[in-house]
Structure 1
């Protein structure tokens, strides 16, 4: 007998309750997204046996983290009083340098970026005294090491590490309003719901609760956050964090689509036996153009106050990342200390990322997309932000 979506959900919920030892999820705003997601996983995702295991395990883990955070918050009332003041939030299309910019700026001790280990294992709340020695670091690293074993070369696309900064899509996953899900699996109904119908205000409310939890016993001068996904929901982002400073990265969207298709392919090929890169690229091309249009709409609608958003072009940072960080600091009126710059240079030498040519290149032709049509649809964005068109291989 085929399991219904409701039965599937309740089975995973029961498993999460057993793992967490708690049964209070807080607000039930996560349920709609999970049900839509599960229906797609059982249908168009066409998961193989590995894919089913990967998806179910991730859902249980995200539900369990939500339960643990809510239980911790109930036992520690002071968490709710934590203030999130003027976070720095990096946005932009994927594959535009947002990750390396986050990682470099996170080397400045004044900036508190959420690290992968504490996002994956947030309870108990991280403490300053053990922040660099917490045993969860090794546990998380062992899990990340398995990824490259199962998906050879994945780290060349997107480096993973317990003590590397993590992006906000992982936080949104426990609310089941995350673009991570539609990158990893073919879930078209969920993807449409997320981009056009979901209550993203609730997602940002959960995001704040998560940050309050993380900073409750380990503070820094300011939060440094990042996710390309914010591009699609800038009004909701700024409503939740009206004093935020936003850094928006820009790059030729056609180049982005080809690169992102390669990243998605590396994830999906393991979990389904019915993968087609052209179908993946078609989804990404629509999503990327929608995000760029929304970014333009946000500017026209006055979502940002004067000086609240900084624009960073990929062509300006491609060969001088430290210089780009220095210019950002200058625009923000911050001092880039010699110590912070030294830490950044040390990190860059050890983690060159795309600067070292590690990214596998996919030709635009392999996406099956119409270059002329997409170039026309991206014209308004490229003209407004002075984004150069790159050569497509």
Structure 2
């Protein structure tokens, strides 16, 4: 992992890729694809039947996706200030979302039972990004009585036989690590490792994955004010499909994504009996870590390099999420466990014990053994480098 001297630092591989793509466009070797909804739709829906857009979905949900695409494209064109690499990545992600939406519809048209599969009530980890949600998520999912979502299945929720998704996800991660060599310090990835379901939200064009990459304030504001119900209806269909496909529908799925903090009532509407695990961390530390993560993703994709604007936006965003968490919890009558970030660092086994007691769940020896293996795996990763990076940023500012 090379040194990261500044939150907006970029890797040489990213800079070279940006220059290479720009040169291809300037020389007319390849055409710059427009970020236009109709064009993207033509590309993403190629090879699918028209009814694949509608299968399993209400007309309001179909219209919601179309409107989200239109709004997001307008924001990308008018606000994001994308460079050639960022434009290419936006094009790839949006055409992929359209393709996956059609592929899911085709799967549901072929087997209508998939999006209706009965599942155990999930356990949802709720909290701010950078507040220990990933650690809690993976510890809980390590319990053999629970289930988790593989990164490759979040990245591509369309079931296939044979299942080539781990290989494809591994290739995508290899490219991502070339573009951003600090990726695993920010969030430890693995193709088949348990991970958050942000890919399922992105497949419905929730803002979660996009606002952490691009400056799209009008789309974000519009999304924050809009009912996220259609997004979570799609999310529920994907979860039921994944559970049926993976053969773990009888075990509680441990779900986690920071976007849940913003949309918790919409998520809970689809999953009666959900148990919540809410993480807490010092607000200043959350902002500092979040800004570092977002800056690292935005810098390679945009000519816009304004760290103060990123900081201000994520202070606002995190405050909004906190307000929405508190409001949702005030009206929630189910089981809730609270996790303190510092206590989790100091004695994770004791904190896990508190969580299981609060949720009235048995903590077996097999579960603890699996969690210890997960902790050893996490300790061997490179995510601890992020703390050092942040300390170096502060030292550089002081100097």
Counterpart of 2:234 in structure 1 is 206
Match of 1:288 among 318, 328, 344: 318
Structure 1 residues 323-355: Cα deviation after superposition (integer angstroms, max 9, x where no partner): 322321222222222222222212221222899
Q: Does 1:101 align with 2:133?
A: no
| Match 2:297 to one of 243, 259, 267 | 267
Structure 2 partner of 1:162: 191
Q: Distance in 2 between matches of 1:318 and 1:236?
A: 31
**Correspondence 1:185 to 2:214:** yes
Partner of 2:349: 322
SS of the aligned residue for 1:228 comes to: coil
**Residue of structure 1 aligned with 2:113, choices 65, 78, 81:** 78
Deviations 1:35-59 (A, max 9, x none): 1111111121100000000011011
Shift of 1:171: 0.8
Q: Which residue of 2 aligns with 1:278?
A: 308
Q: Which residue of 2 aligns with 1:225?
A: 255
Matched residue, 2:278:
248
Q: Is the 8 A contact 2:126 2:257 kept in 1?
A: yes
Once the two structures are superposed, the pairs formed by residues 1-393 of structure 1 within 5 Å of their partners are 8-18=36-46, 21-23=48-50, 24-26=52-54, 27-124=62-159, 134-196=163-225, 198-220=226-248, 221-300=251-330, 302=331, 304-305=332-333, 307-352=334-379, 357-360=384-387, 361-362=389-390
Q: Can you give the 5+ residue segments of structure 2 that lack an aligned partner in the other structure?
A: 1-30, 55-61, 395-399
TM superposition score normalised by structure 1:
0.83
User: Are residues 22 and 275 of structure 1, via their aligned partners in 2, closer, same or farther at CA, if it must alter by over 3 Å?
Assistant: farther
Task: Give me the whole-angstrom Cα distance separating, in 2, the residues matched to 1:97 and 1:139.
Answer: 28
Work out whether residues 336 and 358 of structure 2, in 8 Å CA contact, stay in contact via their aligned partners in 1: no
Q: Relative to structure 2, which stretch is displaced further, 269-278 or 316-325?
A: 316-325
Q: What is the root-mean-square deviation in Å for CA atoms of aligned residues?
A: 2.4
Paired residue secondary structure (2:181): coil
- Extract unaligned runs of 5+ from structure 1: 367-393
Aligned 8 A contact 1:251 1:314 in 2? yes
Deviations 1:51-73 (A, max 9, x none): 00001101111111111111001
Give the count of matched residue pairs. 352
SS across alignment from 1:77: coil
C-alpha distance in 1 between matches for 2:152 and 2:35? 31
Contact preservation (8 Å) 2:144, 2:366 = no
SS at match of 1:216: helix
Query: 2: distance between equivalents of 1:353 and 1:65?
Result: 34
Between stretches 280-289 and 160-169, larger displacement belongs to: 160-169
The alpha carbon displacement at 1:238 in A equals: 2.2
- Measure, in 2, the Cα distance between the counterparts of 1:106 and 1:25: 32
**Residues 295 and 122 (structure 1 numbering): CA distance in 2 closer, same or farther, change over 3 Å?**
closer
How far, CA to CA, are the matches of 1:187 and 1:340 in structure 2?
42
Tell me, in whole angstroms, the C-alpha distance in 2 between the residues paired with 1:172 and 1:203: 7
**Cα distance between partner residues in 2 of 1:353 and 1:41:** 38
Contact 2:185 2:384 in 1 (8 A): no
CA distance in 2, matches of 1:43, 1:7: 11
Q: Secondary structure at the match of 2:192?
A: coil
Cα deviation, 1:177-215, whole Å, max 9, x if unaligned, reads 23111111110001111112x221111111111111111
Q: Given the superposition, is the C-alpha separation of residues 74 and 266 from structure 1 closer, same or farther in structure 2, using an over 3 Å criterion?
A: same
Query: How many angstroms does 1:363 deviate by?
Result: 6.4
